Structure 1
Amino acid sequence: MPWNATLDLRYQRRHETTTVAHRHLGPLRIFHSHYPQGPGLCHNVLIHPPGGLVGGDRLDIRIHAEADCHALLTTPGATRFYRSPGPVATQSVSIQLEPGAKLEWLPMETLAYPGCNAINSLRAELAPDAQLLAWEVTALGLPVSGQPFDTGCLQQRIEIVDCWLDQGRLDALDKRLLDSPLGLAGLRCLGTLVLASGSPWPLQAREALLQAVRETPAQSPAAPHSGATFPHDRVLVLRALGPLVEPVMQTLKAAWRSVRTSAWGAQVAEPRIWQT
Protein backbone atom coordinates (compact mmCIF):
# COMPACT_ATOMS: atom_id res chain seq x y z
CA MET A 1 0.00 0.00 0.00
CA PRO A 2 1.54 3.38 -0.97
CA TRP A 3 2.48 6.01 1.62
CA ASN A 4 0.84 9.40 1.15
CA ALA A 5 2.09 12.12 3.45
CA THR A 6 1.72 15.89 3.69
CA LEU A 7 3.44 18.48 5.82
CA ASP A 8 2.32 22.11 6.08
CA LEU A 9 4.77 24.56 7.67
CA ARG A 10 3.94 28.18 8.42
CA TYR A 11 6.70 30.44 9.69
CA GLN A 12 5.70 33.53 11.66
CA ARG A 13 7.57 36.49 13.13
CA ARG A 14 6.65 37.09 16.76
CA HIS A 15 8.59 39.66 18.85
CA GLU A 16 11.83 39.28 16.84
CA THR A 17 11.54 35.47 16.91
CA THR A 18 10.73 33.26 13.94
CA THR A 19 8.44 30.44 15.01
CA VAL A 20 6.81 27.63 13.06
CA ALA A 21 3.34 26.11 13.18
CA HIS A 22 2.86 22.81 11.41
CA ARG A 23 0.28 20.22 10.44
CA HIS A 24 1.03 16.77 9.09
CA LEU A 25 -0.72 13.77 7.65
CA GLY A 26 1.18 10.51 7.43
CA PRO A 27 4.88 9.86 8.08
CA LEU A 28 6.35 13.33 7.68
CA ARG A 29 7.55 15.44 10.61
CA ILE A 30 9.94 18.15 11.76
CA PHE A 31 12.22 18.05 14.80
CA HIS A 32 12.10 20.78 17.43
CA SER A 33 13.23 24.21 16.28
CA HIS A 34 16.80 25.36 16.94
CA TYR A 35 18.22 28.90 16.98
CA PRO A 36 22.03 28.65 16.60
CA GLN A 37 22.21 32.21 15.21
CA GLY A 38 19.67 33.88 17.44
CA PRO A 39 15.87 34.04 17.57
CA GLY A 40 15.42 35.55 14.13
CA LEU A 41 16.54 32.40 12.24
CA CYS A 42 14.66 29.16 12.85
CA HIS A 43 16.42 25.87 11.96
CA ASN A 44 14.30 22.78 11.36
CA VAL A 45 15.07 19.20 10.33
CA LEU A 46 12.46 17.45 8.21
CA ILE A 47 12.20 13.69 8.72
CA HIS A 48 10.46 10.95 6.75
CA PRO A 49 10.60 7.85 8.98
CA PRO A 50 10.11 5.26 6.17
CA GLY A 51 13.42 6.50 4.74
CA GLY A 52 12.51 6.41 1.06
CA LEU A 53 9.79 6.27 -1.60
CA VAL A 54 8.56 3.38 -3.70
CA GLY A 55 6.06 3.30 -6.55
CA GLY A 56 2.83 5.12 -5.67
CA ASP A 57 4.25 6.98 -2.66
CA ARG A 58 3.66 10.72 -2.56
CA LEU A 59 5.16 13.36 -0.27
CA ASP A 60 3.72 16.89 -0.36
CA ILE A 61 5.64 19.56 1.54
CA ARG A 62 4.13 23.04 1.70
CA ILE A 63 6.07 25.92 3.23
CA HIS A 64 4.71 29.41 3.87
CA ALA A 65 6.85 32.12 5.44
CA GLU A 66 5.20 35.32 6.61
CA ALA A 67 6.82 38.74 6.19
CA ASP A 68 10.39 39.13 7.51
CA CYS A 69 10.73 35.53 8.72
CA HIS A 70 13.97 33.62 8.19
CA ALA A 71 14.01 29.82 8.27
CA LEU A 72 16.40 27.02 7.31
CA LEU A 73 15.22 23.51 6.50
CA THR A 74 17.35 20.43 5.96
CA THR A 75 17.07 16.65 6.28
CA PRO A 76 19.02 14.10 8.34
CA GLY A 77 19.89 11.95 5.32
CA ALA A 78 19.28 11.22 1.67
CA THR A 79 15.90 11.09 -0.02
CA ARG A 80 15.74 7.69 -1.70
CA PHE A 81 13.65 6.78 -4.71
CA TYR A 82 13.64 2.99 -4.76
CA ARG A 83 13.04 0.60 -7.64
CA SER A 84 9.47 0.69 -8.96
CA PRO A 85 8.18 -1.57 -11.75
CA GLY A 86 5.19 0.66 -12.48
CA PRO A 87 3.64 3.47 -10.39
CA VAL A 88 5.44 6.79 -10.00
CA ALA A 89 6.87 7.93 -6.66
CA THR A 90 6.51 11.70 -6.18
CA GLN A 91 7.98 14.35 -3.91
CA SER A 92 6.52 17.83 -4.32
CA VAL A 93 7.74 20.94 -2.47
CA SER A 94 5.71 24.15 -2.67
CA ILE A 95 7.13 27.38 -1.20
CA GLN A 96 5.43 30.73 -0.70
CA LEU A 97 7.37 33.66 0.76
CA GLU A 98 5.79 36.95 1.83
CA PRO A 99 7.64 40.31 1.56
CA GLY A 100 11.06 40.29 3.20
CA ALA A 101 10.97 36.60 4.11
CA LYS A 102 14.04 34.38 3.64
CA LEU A 103 14.06 30.60 3.31
CA GLU A 104 16.99 28.21 3.00
CA TRP A 105 15.90 24.83 1.57
CA LEU A 106 18.97 22.58 1.96
CA PRO A 107 18.04 18.88 1.89
CA MET A 108 20.64 16.16 1.74
CA GLU A 109 21.11 14.38 -1.57
CA THR A 110 18.45 12.59 -3.61
CA LEU A 111 19.38 9.02 -4.57
CA ALA A 112 17.76 7.58 -7.70
CA TYR A 113 18.07 3.82 -7.33
CA PRO A 114 18.35 1.65 -10.45
CA GLY A 115 14.85 0.93 -11.73
CA CYS A 116 13.18 3.90 -10.01
CA ASN A 117 10.24 5.74 -11.55
CA ALA A 118 10.10 9.10 -9.80
CA ILE A 119 9.21 12.79 -9.95
CA ASN A 120 10.96 15.36 -7.75
CA SER A 121 9.70 18.94 -7.99
CA LEU A 122 10.04 22.31 -6.27
CA ARG A 123 7.91 25.38 -6.97
CA ALA A 124 8.48 28.75 -5.26
CA GLU A 125 6.49 31.96 -5.35
CA LEU A 126 8.29 35.00 -3.96
CA ALA A 127 6.79 38.33 -2.95
CA PRO A 128 8.85 41.53 -3.39
CA ASP A 129 12.13 41.47 -1.40
CA ALA A 130 11.63 37.83 -0.39
CA GLN A 131 14.60 35.53 -1.07
CA LEU A 132 15.08 31.79 -1.47
CA LEU A 133 18.40 29.97 -1.22
CA ALA A 134 17.91 26.36 -2.26
CA TRP A 135 19.80 23.41 -3.65
CA GLU A 136 19.20 19.98 -5.13
CA VAL A 137 21.89 17.28 -5.33
CA THR A 138 20.97 14.17 -7.31
CA ALA A 139 22.91 10.92 -7.61
CA LEU A 140 21.95 8.37 -10.28
CA GLY A 141 22.48 4.78 -9.17
CA LEU A 142 24.77 3.51 -6.42
CA PRO A 143 28.22 3.32 -8.02
CA VAL A 144 30.07 2.56 -4.79
CA SER A 145 27.82 -0.48 -4.30
CA GLY A 146 28.25 -1.58 -7.91
CA GLN A 147 24.66 -0.68 -8.87
CA PRO A 148 24.77 1.54 -11.97
CA PHE A 149 21.79 3.55 -13.14
CA ASP A 150 21.07 1.20 -16.05
CA THR A 151 17.26 1.22 -15.78
CA GLY A 152 14.75 3.72 -14.44
CA CYS A 153 13.73 7.33 -14.85
CA LEU A 154 13.78 10.45 -12.68
CA GLN A 155 11.98 13.65 -13.65
CA GLN A 156 13.14 16.83 -11.93
CA ARG A 157 11.65 20.30 -11.93
CA ILE A 158 12.58 23.56 -10.17
CA GLU A 159 10.37 26.59 -10.79
CA ILE A 160 10.64 30.15 -9.57
CA VAL A 161 7.24 31.53 -10.58
CA ASP A 162 7.30 34.17 -13.33
CA CYS A 163 11.04 34.12 -13.95
CA TRP A 164 12.77 30.72 -14.16
CA LEU A 165 11.94 27.09 -14.92
CA ASP A 166 14.40 24.20 -14.97
CA GLN A 167 13.11 20.73 -15.75
CA GLY A 168 14.50 17.54 -17.21
CA ARG A 169 14.00 13.83 -17.62
CA LEU A 170 16.91 11.62 -16.58
CA ASP A 171 16.24 8.30 -18.30
CA ALA A 172 18.73 5.46 -17.89
CA LEU A 173 18.22 4.52 -21.56
CA ASP A 174 19.14 8.01 -22.79
CA LYS A 175 22.85 7.35 -23.30
CA ARG A 176 23.40 10.54 -25.27
CA LEU A 177 22.28 12.57 -22.27
CA LEU A 178 24.08 10.48 -19.67
CA ASP A 179 27.37 9.87 -21.47
CA SER A 180 27.82 12.63 -24.07
CA PRO A 181 30.27 15.48 -23.37
CA LEU A 182 27.28 17.77 -24.00
CA GLY A 183 25.32 15.94 -21.28
CA LEU A 184 26.55 14.38 -18.04
CA ALA A 185 29.77 13.11 -19.65
CA GLY A 186 29.54 9.75 -17.87
CA LEU A 187 29.29 11.37 -14.44
CA ARG A 188 26.37 10.47 -12.24
CA CYS A 189 25.96 13.20 -9.63
CA LEU A 190 24.62 16.64 -10.45
CA GLY A 191 23.90 19.60 -8.21
CA THR A 192 22.03 22.87 -8.61
CA LEU A 193 22.10 25.82 -6.21
CA VAL A 194 19.62 28.66 -6.71
CA LEU A 195 19.46 32.08 -5.09
CA ALA A 196 16.18 33.72 -6.11
CA SER A 197 14.63 37.05 -5.17
CA GLY A 198 11.15 38.48 -5.44
CA SER A 199 12.73 41.75 -6.63
CA PRO A 200 15.47 42.28 -9.23
CA TRP A 201 19.04 42.80 -8.05
CA PRO A 202 20.83 45.87 -9.45
CA LEU A 203 23.51 45.08 -12.00
CA GLN A 204 26.37 45.85 -9.61
CA ALA A 205 24.94 43.51 -6.97
CA ARG A 206 24.48 40.74 -9.53
CA GLU A 207 28.09 41.06 -10.67
CA ALA A 208 29.36 40.92 -7.07
CA LEU A 209 27.27 37.83 -6.29
CA LEU A 210 28.37 36.09 -9.45
CA GLN A 211 32.03 36.77 -8.73
CA ALA A 212 31.68 35.45 -5.17
CA VAL A 213 30.02 32.24 -6.35
CA ARG A 214 32.48 31.66 -9.17
CA GLU A 215 35.35 31.79 -6.72
CA THR A 216 34.00 28.92 -4.63
CA PRO A 217 35.08 26.01 -6.89
CA ALA A 218 38.68 27.08 -6.28
CA GLN A 219 38.01 26.54 -2.58
CA SER A 220 36.51 23.10 -3.30
CA PRO A 221 38.31 21.77 -6.40
CA ALA A 222 37.06 18.20 -5.99
CA ALA A 223 34.03 18.86 -8.22
CA PRO A 224 35.47 18.57 -11.75
CA HIS A 225 32.78 20.61 -13.50
CA SER A 226 30.91 23.67 -12.22
CA GLY A 227 29.60 26.98 -13.48
CA ALA A 228 27.47 29.92 -12.35
CA THR A 229 25.25 32.35 -14.20
CA PHE A 230 22.43 34.87 -13.80
CA PRO A 231 19.75 33.62 -16.26
CA HIS A 232 17.37 36.30 -14.93
CA ASP A 233 17.87 39.46 -12.90
CA ARG A 234 16.12 37.71 -10.00
CA VAL A 235 17.84 34.31 -10.20
CA LEU A 236 21.44 33.19 -9.63
CA VAL A 237 22.21 29.56 -10.56
CA LEU A 238 25.26 27.40 -9.82
CA ARG A 239 25.60 23.91 -11.31
CA ALA A 240 28.11 21.24 -10.38
CA LEU A 241 28.74 17.81 -11.88
CA GLY A 242 30.88 15.03 -10.41
CA PRO A 243 31.29 11.27 -10.11
CA LEU A 244 29.99 11.01 -6.53
CA VAL A 245 27.87 12.95 -4.04
CA GLU A 246 30.66 14.15 -1.75
CA PRO A 247 32.58 16.48 -4.10
CA VAL A 248 29.37 17.97 -5.50
CA MET A 249 27.94 18.55 -2.03
CA GLN A 250 31.22 20.13 -0.88
CA THR A 251 31.06 22.56 -3.79
CA LEU A 252 27.45 23.53 -3.07
CA LYS A 253 28.15 23.99 0.63
CA ALA A 254 31.06 26.30 -0.19
CA ALA A 255 28.81 28.27 -2.55
CA TRP A 256 26.07 28.41 0.08
CA ARG A 257 28.47 29.92 2.61
CA SER A 258 29.71 32.45 0.07
CA VAL A 259 26.24 33.47 -1.12
CA ARG A 260 24.93 33.79 2.40
CA THR A 261 27.74 36.18 3.31
CA SER A 262 27.63 38.15 0.05
CA ALA A 263 23.86 38.48 -0.31
CA TRP A 264 22.78 38.74 3.31
CA GLY A 265 25.89 39.65 5.29
CA ALA A 266 25.01 36.69 7.49
CA GLN A 267 27.32 34.56 9.56
CA VAL A 268 27.32 30.87 8.70
CA ALA A 269 26.22 28.26 11.21
CA GLU A 270 25.81 24.87 9.60
CA PRO A 271 22.88 22.79 10.84
CA ARG A 272 24.05 20.48 13.61
CA ILE A 273 22.56 17.46 11.83
CA TRP A 274 25.23 17.83 9.12
CA GLN A 275 27.87 16.95 11.66
CA THR A 276 26.32 13.61 12.62
Structure 2
Amino acid sequence: MENVIQSASMPTAWHANLRLDFSFADEQHKTVLSHREHHGPLLVQKSLYPEGKEICHAVILHPPAGIAGGDHLAIQLNVEKNAKVVVTTPGATKWYKANQKDASQRIIIQVDPHGHLDFLPQENIFFNSSNAHNQIVVHQDKTSSSIGWDIAQLGRTAQGEHWEDARLRNEIEYYFDHELCWVESMLLESMLLESQKSFYNETCGLAEFPVFGTMWMSSVNASEDLLEEITELVRWDDALRVGVTRIAIDENFGLILVRGLSDEVEYLKNCFIQIWLFARERIAGIKPLPLRIWKT
Protein backbone atom coordinates (compact mmCIF):
# COMPACT_ATOMS: atom_id res chain seq x y z
CA MET A 1 0.00 0.00 0.00
CA GLU A 2 1.41 3.41 -0.94
CA ASN A 3 2.37 5.97 1.68
CA VAL A 4 0.51 9.20 0.95
CA ILE A 5 2.90 11.15 3.20
CA GLN A 6 5.45 10.93 0.40
CA SER A 7 3.27 13.15 -1.79
CA ALA A 8 4.39 16.15 0.27
CA SER A 9 7.46 16.36 -1.94
CA MET A 10 5.43 16.95 -5.09
CA PRO A 11 6.03 20.42 -6.55
CA THR A 12 3.85 23.36 -7.57
CA ALA A 13 1.05 23.00 -4.98
CA TRP A 14 0.61 23.29 -1.24
CA HIS A 15 0.04 19.91 0.44
CA ALA A 16 -1.27 18.73 3.77
CA ASN A 17 -0.83 15.08 4.71
CA LEU A 18 -1.97 12.90 7.57
CA ARG A 19 -1.26 9.26 8.33
CA LEU A 20 -2.94 7.44 11.23
CA ASP A 21 -2.14 3.84 12.21
CA PHE A 22 -4.43 2.11 14.70
CA SER A 23 -3.39 -1.11 16.38
CA PHE A 24 -4.88 -3.42 18.99
CA ALA A 25 -2.88 -3.79 22.22
CA ASP A 26 -3.67 -7.33 23.41
CA GLU A 27 -2.33 -6.84 26.93
CA GLN A 28 -4.65 -3.85 27.45
CA HIS A 29 -7.46 -5.16 25.25
CA LYS A 30 -7.50 -1.69 23.70
CA THR A 31 -7.35 -0.08 20.25
CA VAL A 32 -4.69 2.64 20.24
CA LEU A 33 -3.50 5.28 17.81
CA SER A 34 -0.04 3.72 17.54
CA HIS A 35 1.43 5.98 14.88
CA ARG A 36 0.60 9.51 13.80
CA GLU A 37 2.39 11.49 11.11
CA HIS A 38 1.35 14.78 9.56
CA HIS A 39 2.58 17.60 7.36
CA GLY A 40 0.66 20.86 7.30
CA PRO A 41 -2.64 21.62 9.07
CA LEU A 42 -4.17 18.14 9.14
CA LEU A 43 -4.15 16.51 12.54
CA VAL A 44 -5.90 14.59 15.30
CA GLN A 45 -5.70 16.12 18.77
CA LYS A 46 -6.22 12.96 20.84
CA SER A 47 -7.87 9.57 20.84
CA LEU A 48 -11.36 9.33 22.33
CA TYR A 49 -13.09 6.32 23.91
CA PRO A 50 -16.82 7.06 24.32
CA GLU A 51 -17.62 3.36 23.69
CA GLY A 52 -14.90 1.86 25.88
CA LYS A 53 -11.27 1.06 25.25
CA GLU A 54 -11.82 -1.49 22.47
CA ILE A 55 -13.03 1.20 20.02
CA CYS A 56 -10.85 4.22 19.30
CA HIS A 57 -12.49 7.40 17.99
CA ALA A 58 -10.50 9.96 16.02
CA VAL A 59 -11.70 13.37 14.80
CA ILE A 60 -9.67 14.69 11.87
CA LEU A 61 -9.15 18.43 12.10
CA HIS A 62 -8.32 20.74 9.21
CA PRO A 63 -7.89 24.14 10.88
CA PRO A 64 -8.23 26.25 7.71
CA ALA A 65 -11.77 24.76 7.52
CA GLY A 66 -11.69 24.54 3.77
CA ILE A 67 -9.82 23.60 0.62
CA ALA A 68 -8.87 26.35 -1.82
CA GLY A 69 -7.58 26.17 -5.36
CA GLY A 70 -4.06 24.73 -5.36
CA ASP A 71 -4.52 22.84 -2.06
CA HIS A 72 -3.98 19.08 -2.04
CA LEU A 73 -4.87 16.95 0.99
CA ALA A 74 -3.82 13.33 1.46
CA ILE A 75 -5.09 11.17 4.33
CA GLN A 76 -4.07 7.58 5.05
CA LEU A 77 -5.94 5.47 7.62
CA ASN A 78 -4.54 2.06 8.56
CA VAL A 79 -6.69 -0.15 10.78
CA GLU A 80 -4.45 -3.00 11.82
CA LYS A 81 -5.38 -6.53 12.92
CA ASN A 82 -8.25 -6.66 15.46
CA ALA A 83 -8.43 -2.88 15.82
CA LYS A 84 -11.81 -1.13 15.91
CA VAL A 85 -11.94 2.51 14.88
CA VAL A 86 -14.38 5.37 14.28
CA VAL A 87 -13.16 8.32 12.19
CA THR A 88 -15.17 11.49 11.63
CA THR A 89 -14.74 15.25 11.11
CA PRO A 90 -16.03 18.14 13.26
CA GLY A 91 -17.85 19.89 10.44
CA ALA A 92 -18.39 20.13 6.72
CA THR A 93 -15.37 20.36 4.41
CA LYS A 94 -15.71 23.47 2.26
CA TRP A 95 -14.18 23.60 -1.20
CA TYR A 96 -13.61 27.24 -2.12
CA LYS A 97 -13.25 29.14 -5.37
CA ALA A 98 -10.42 27.60 -7.35
CA ASN A 99 -8.86 30.77 -8.82
CA GLN A 100 -8.06 28.71 -11.93
CA LYS A 101 -6.23 26.08 -9.86
CA ASP A 102 -7.33 22.53 -9.11
CA ALA A 103 -7.73 21.17 -5.58
CA SER A 104 -7.84 17.59 -4.33
CA GLN A 105 -8.42 15.34 -1.36
CA ARG A 106 -7.34 11.71 -1.48
CA ILE A 107 -8.24 9.37 1.37
CA ILE A 108 -6.73 5.87 1.44
CA ILE A 109 -8.17 3.35 3.88
CA GLN A 110 -6.67 -0.03 4.82
CA VAL A 111 -8.60 -2.43 7.07
CA ASP A 112 -6.57 -5.49 8.08
CA PRO A 113 -7.78 -8.93 9.28
CA HIS A 114 -10.58 -8.83 11.87
CA GLY A 115 -10.44 -5.04 12.00
CA HIS A 116 -13.39 -2.68 11.69
CA LEU A 117 -13.69 0.95 10.59
CA ASP A 118 -16.61 3.34 10.75
CA PHE A 119 -15.63 6.16 8.37
CA LEU A 120 -18.25 8.85 9.03
CA PRO A 121 -17.10 12.27 7.80
CA GLN A 122 -19.44 15.20 7.55
CA GLU A 123 -20.35 16.49 4.11
CA ASN A 124 -18.27 18.18 1.41
CA ILE A 125 -19.65 21.53 0.22
CA PHE A 126 -18.43 22.55 -3.22
CA PHE A 127 -18.67 26.31 -3.75
CA ASN A 128 -19.19 28.12 -7.03
CA SER A 129 -16.04 28.26 -9.18
CA SER A 130 -14.42 25.34 -7.34
CA ASN A 131 -12.33 22.79 -9.24
CA ALA A 132 -12.26 19.68 -7.06
CA HIS A 133 -11.08 16.09 -7.17
CA ASN A 134 -12.35 14.08 -4.19
CA GLN A 135 -11.27 10.44 -3.97
CA ILE A 136 -11.68 7.63 -1.42
CA VAL A 137 -9.83 4.32 -1.86
CA VAL A 138 -10.73 1.41 0.44
CA HIS A 139 -8.60 -1.74 0.82
CA GLN A 140 -10.27 -4.39 2.94
CA ASP A 141 -9.29 -7.85 4.11
CA LYS A 142 -11.82 -10.66 3.73
CA THR A 143 -12.15 -11.09 7.52
CA SER A 144 -12.63 -7.38 8.26
CA SER A 145 -15.62 -5.05 8.08
CA SER A 146 -16.26 -1.41 7.33
CA ILE A 147 -19.04 1.15 7.09
CA GLY A 148 -18.49 4.50 5.45
CA TRP A 149 -20.02 7.27 3.43
CA ASP A 150 -19.30 10.23 1.19
CA ILE A 151 -21.81 13.11 1.02
CA ALA A 152 -21.59 16.10 -1.32
CA GLN A 153 -23.49 19.36 -1.63
CA LEU A 154 -23.21 21.43 -4.81
CA GLY A 155 -23.28 25.13 -3.98
CA ARG A 156 -24.19 26.96 -0.78
CA THR A 157 -27.87 26.23 -1.07
CA ALA A 158 -28.74 27.95 2.24
CA GLN A 159 -27.66 31.21 0.61
CA GLY A 160 -29.61 30.49 -2.55
CA GLU A 161 -26.45 29.73 -4.48
CA HIS A 162 -26.66 27.50 -7.55
CA TRP A 163 -23.53 25.56 -8.40
CA GLU A 164 -21.95 27.44 -11.31
CA ASP A 165 -18.63 27.74 -13.15
CA ALA A 166 -17.34 24.69 -11.28
CA ARG A 167 -15.94 21.21 -11.82
CA LEU A 168 -16.07 18.13 -9.61
CA ARG A 169 -14.54 14.70 -10.04
CA ASN A 170 -15.79 12.41 -7.26
CA GLU A 171 -14.54 8.83 -6.93
CA ILE A 172 -14.73 5.84 -4.61
CA GLU A 173 -12.69 2.67 -5.23
CA TYR A 174 -13.16 -0.50 -3.19
CA TYR A 175 -10.61 -3.34 -3.11
CA PHE A 176 -11.43 -6.67 -1.48
CA ASP A 177 -8.46 -8.95 -0.73
CA HIS A 178 -6.32 -6.88 -3.15
CA GLU A 179 -8.81 -7.04 -6.04
CA LEU A 180 -10.81 -4.06 -7.31
CA CYS A 181 -14.51 -4.89 -6.86
CA TRP A 182 -16.37 -1.60 -7.11
CA VAL A 183 -15.81 1.86 -8.53
CA GLU A 184 -18.08 4.88 -8.15
CA SER A 185 -16.89 7.65 -10.48
CA MET A 186 -18.56 10.93 -11.39
CA LEU A 187 -17.46 13.97 -13.36
CA LEU A 188 -19.62 17.10 -13.16
CA GLU A 189 -18.81 20.29 -15.04
CA SER A 190 -21.30 23.10 -14.53
CA MET A 191 -19.55 25.33 -17.04
CA LEU A 192 -20.48 23.07 -19.95
CA LEU A 193 -23.07 23.97 -22.56
CA GLU A 194 -26.70 23.19 -21.69
CA SER A 195 -26.71 20.29 -24.15
CA GLN A 196 -23.89 18.66 -22.15
CA LYS A 197 -25.41 18.96 -18.67
CA SER A 198 -27.75 15.98 -18.92
CA PHE A 199 -26.31 14.07 -15.97
CA TYR A 200 -27.03 16.92 -13.58
CA ASN A 201 -30.47 17.77 -14.96
CA GLU A 202 -32.09 14.49 -16.00
CA THR A 203 -33.77 11.84 -13.87
CA CYS A 204 -31.14 9.24 -14.80
CA GLY A 205 -28.52 11.47 -13.14
CA LEU A 206 -28.90 13.94 -10.29
CA ALA A 207 -32.32 15.21 -11.39
CA GLU A 208 -31.22 18.73 -10.33
CA PHE A 209 -30.81 17.70 -6.69
CA PRO A 210 -27.90 19.64 -5.15
CA VAL A 211 -27.04 16.92 -2.60
CA PHE A 212 -25.88 13.38 -3.35
CA GLY A 213 -24.11 10.66 -1.42
CA THR A 214 -22.99 7.05 -1.30
CA MET A 215 -22.76 4.79 1.74
CA TRP A 216 -21.11 1.36 1.87
CA MET A 217 -21.31 -1.52 4.35
CA SER A 218 -19.07 -4.54 3.87
CA SER A 219 -18.53 -7.75 5.82
CA VAL A 220 -19.50 -11.41 5.83
CA ASN A 221 -22.75 -10.22 7.42
CA ALA A 222 -23.75 -7.88 4.58
CA SER A 223 -26.40 -10.33 3.44
CA GLU A 224 -29.45 -10.24 1.19
CA ASP A 225 -31.62 -10.34 4.31
CA LEU A 226 -29.93 -7.22 5.68
CA LEU A 227 -30.35 -5.56 2.28
CA GLU A 228 -34.10 -6.14 2.43
CA GLU A 229 -34.32 -4.75 5.98
CA ILE A 230 -32.41 -1.60 5.04
CA THR A 231 -34.65 -1.11 2.01
CA GLU A 232 -37.59 -0.74 4.40
CA LEU A 233 -35.86 2.22 6.10
CA VAL A 234 -35.32 4.45 3.07
CA ARG A 235 -37.52 7.09 1.41
CA TRP A 236 -38.32 8.01 -2.17
CA ASP A 237 -40.12 11.34 -2.43
CA ASP A 238 -39.71 14.88 -3.68
CA ALA A 239 -37.13 15.80 -1.02
CA LEU A 240 -35.14 12.58 -0.59
CA ARG A 241 -34.57 9.68 -2.98
CA VAL A 242 -32.60 6.70 -1.69
CA GLY A 243 -31.90 3.31 -3.24
CA VAL A 244 -30.09 0.22 -1.91
CA THR A 245 -28.15 -2.46 -3.80
CA ARG A 246 -25.81 -5.33 -2.92
CA ILE A 247 -22.72 -6.80 -4.54
CA ALA A 248 -21.86 -10.42 -3.71
CA ILE A 249 -18.06 -10.26 -3.45
CA ASP A 250 -17.72 -14.01 -2.88
CA GLU A 251 -19.91 -16.80 -1.48
CA ASN A 252 -19.71 -15.28 2.02
CA PHE A 253 -18.79 -11.61 1.76
CA GLY A 254 -21.17 -8.86 0.70
CA LEU A 255 -20.99 -5.15 -0.08
CA ILE A 256 -24.21 -3.18 0.49
CA LEU A 257 -24.42 0.22 -1.20
CA VAL A 258 -26.85 3.00 -0.35
CA ARG A 259 -27.09 5.90 -2.78
CA GLY A 260 -29.16 9.02 -2.22
CA LEU A 261 -30.21 12.38 -3.63
CA SER A 262 -31.74 15.22 -1.66
CA ASP A 263 -32.52 18.92 -1.70
CA GLU A 264 -31.18 19.32 1.87
CA VAL A 265 -27.96 17.79 3.16
CA GLU A 266 -29.47 17.08 6.59
CA TYR A 267 -32.12 14.81 5.07
CA LEU A 268 -29.52 12.57 3.45
CA LYS A 269 -27.11 12.68 6.37
CA ASN A 270 -29.85 11.74 8.83
CA CYS A 271 -30.87 8.86 6.56
CA PHE A 272 -27.30 7.52 6.48
CA ILE A 273 -27.00 7.89 10.25
CA GLN A 274 -30.26 5.96 10.76
CA ILE A 275 -29.00 3.15 8.54
CA TRP A 276 -25.65 3.10 10.35
CA LEU A 277 -27.37 2.84 13.73
CA PHE A 278 -29.58 0.04 12.43
CA ALA A 279 -26.90 -2.00 10.63
CA ARG A 280 -23.73 -1.52 12.67
CA GLU A 281 -24.28 -4.42 15.07
CA ARG A 282 -25.27 -6.70 12.20
CA ILE A 283 -22.23 -5.73 10.12
CA ALA A 284 -19.55 -5.62 12.82
CA GLY A 285 -21.02 -6.99 16.06
CA ILE A 286 -20.75 -3.54 17.68
CA LYS A 287 -23.75 -1.92 19.32
CA PRO A 288 -24.58 1.51 17.87
CA LEU A 289 -23.89 4.72 19.74
CA PRO A 290 -24.72 8.09 18.11
CA LEU A 291 -21.68 10.33 17.90
CA ARG A 292 -21.79 13.32 20.23
CA ILE A 293 -20.33 15.51 17.51
CA TRP A 294 -23.51 15.06 15.41
CA LYS A 295 -25.44 16.98 18.06
CA THR A 296 -23.23 20.08 18.00
TM-score (norm 1): 0.93
Q: Is the 8 A contact 1:163 1:232 kept in 2?
A: no
How far off its partner does 1:221 sit?
7.5
SS in 1 for 2:282: helix
The one-letter amino acid paired with 1:166 is E
The unaligned stretches of length 5 or more in structure 1 are none
Supply the distance in 2 between the matched residues of 1:52 and 1:3 (Cα, whole angstroms): 13
Please name the residue that 1:63 is paired with.
Answer: 77
Equivalent of 1:8, from 19, 27, 41?
A: 19
Q: 1:2 Cα shift?
A: 5.1
Rate the CA distance shift 1:183–1:121 in 2: closer, same or farther, 3 A: same
In structure 2, the residue matched to 1:181 is 203
Shift of 1:262: 2.2
Listed as ranges, the gaps of 5+ residues in structure 2 are 1-11
Matched to 2:30, the amino acid is T
The answer on whether the counterparts of 1:111 and 1:139 sit within 8 Å (CA) in structure 2 is yes
Tell me whether 1:224 sits opposite 2:237 in the alignment.
no
Report SS of the residue matched to 2:234: helix
- Return the TM-score normalized by structure 2: 0.87
1:84 alignment partner in structure 2: 98
Contact 2:88 2:122 in 1 (8 A): yes
* Counterpart residue identity of residue 159, structure 2: S
| Match runs of 1:78-227 below 5 Å | 78-161=92-175, 162-172=180-190, 173=192, 174-197=196-219, 201=220, 206-217=223-234, 224-227=240-243
| Contact residue 277 and residue 289 of structure 2 kept, 8 A | no
Give the 4+ runs in structure 1 shifted more than 2 A.
Answer: 220-224, 231-234
Name the CA distance, whole Å, in 2 between partners of 1:251 and 1:160: 22
Count matched residues: 270
SS in structure 2 of the partner of residue 163 of structure 1: strand
Higher relative contact order (CA 8 A, sep 6+): 1
Whether the 8 Å CA contact 1:212–1:258 is kept in 2: the answer is: no
Q: Distance in 2 between matches of 1:228 and 1:81?
A: 28
Q: Deviations over 1:175-223 (max 9, x none)?
A: 21111111111111001101124xxx47xx51122022212225x9885
Percent identity over the alignment is 30
Deviation of the 1:133 alpha carbon: 0.7
Letter of the 1:111 counterpart: I
Contact 1:223 1:248 in 2 (8 A): no
